[in-house]
Amino acid sequence: MTHPLLLAGARANLVFHDVSESRSRYAVTSGLVLEIAERLRESGLSQSVRFYLDDGLASALPAAALLRDHYPEVEVVVALTVSTIGRKGYLSLTEAREMCSWGVAIAGHGYQHVRLASYRDGIACPTPHEGEYGPAPSTGDPQLSSNEVLYQLIETRDALQGLTRSEFVLPYGAYNRDVLSINERHQVFDTVSSSDYGWDLGGELRPRLLVTRDIAAGEIPALLASPSPRSAPR
């Protein structure tokens, strides 16, 4: 039986953070990543699902290598935050270029790893207008102005010019209508990727499903059978 994702002519996107033995809920083992890829292959989905490795952590290098070696049909995307490149525990530019030579795609993940939108009681707040064009404050959890949002977009694009494709992965998945409007108005990135799950039908805002250690590999094909599964984690 053909999987509903394929019948819809859609794609799906899975998000992984630290691929390691860490006990963090957001860390998954390389064994789980490979098992998920195998379940997708068995379901005929492995060419229709992207694997994202967010935050530019050093653990993305061996994880991407394993996927390219064992599941070359799976599209792998590594999201880099400019300010952490080359720091301890994070990828260097040399390593990012090496992964590109394997066929791994690179996306921008902010100049700093900061929320582009703030939330109150679970609802995204409007972005304050104007403000200074510059980096976000280095302390606290600031609400960015429109010019600070623009800085994160443009400086990410320019710092990674020639390395990344035209895709911005939202830090923490945080955005509002103003963030999308700023990106569109200034034509910075073709695609903006969120952490809201849904089927990917090729729109400007790309949905993605966050994978945590609480999800079993065998659950993934069933979760992807619906455009908005009730059990998708946030």
Does some domain include residue 231?
no
- Whole-number pLDDT of residue 121: 92
SS3 (DSSP) at 41: helix
Separation between Cα atoms, residue 233 and residue 215, nearest integer Å: 9
Does some domain include residue 75?
yes
- Which is nearest to 63 in space by CA: 27, 92, 87, 39? 27
Does some domain include residue 148?
yes
Does some domain include residue 12?
yes
Does some domain include residue 233?
no
- Whole-number pLDDT of residue 229: 57
Domain that holds residue 79: 4-223
**Residue 168 in contact with residue 107, Cβ under 8 Å?**
yes
224 C-beta neighbours (distance < 10 Å), count: 27
Does some domain include residue 175?
yes
Q: State both tokens at 191.
A: 């695609």
- Whole-number pLDDT of residue 151: 98
- Which is nearest to 80 in space by CA: 94, 101, 68, 65? 94
Per-block mean pLDDT, blocks of 10 residues, the chain (234 long):
95 97 93 98 98 98 98 98 98 97 97 95 92 89 94 97 94 97 97 95 95 94 84 40
**Residue 158 in contact with residue 133, Cβ under 8 Å?**
no
Does some domain include residue 14?
yes
- Which is nearest to 148 in space by CA: 177, 127, 169, 168? 127
Burial class (CB in 10 A: 0-12, 13-18, 19+), 161: exposed
**Cβ contacts of 116-122, under 8 Å, gap ≥ 24:** 116/144, 116/149, 116/152, 116/170, 116/171, 116/174, 116/175, 116/179, 117/144, 117/174, 117/175, 117/176, 117/178, 117/179, 118/143, 118/144, 118/174, 119/174
- How many structural domains is the chain composed of? 1
Q: Residue 46 sits in a domain of what CATH number? A: 3.20.20.370
Does some domain include residue 232?
no
Separation between Cα atoms, residue 22 and residue 19, nearest integer Å: 8
C-alpha 19: how far from its chain's center? 14
Residues 6+ apart with CB under 8 A from 20: 27, 29, 59
- Whole-number pLDDT of residue 105: 97
Confidence (pTM): 0.94
Separation between Cα atoms, residue 159 and residue 203, nearest integer Å: 25
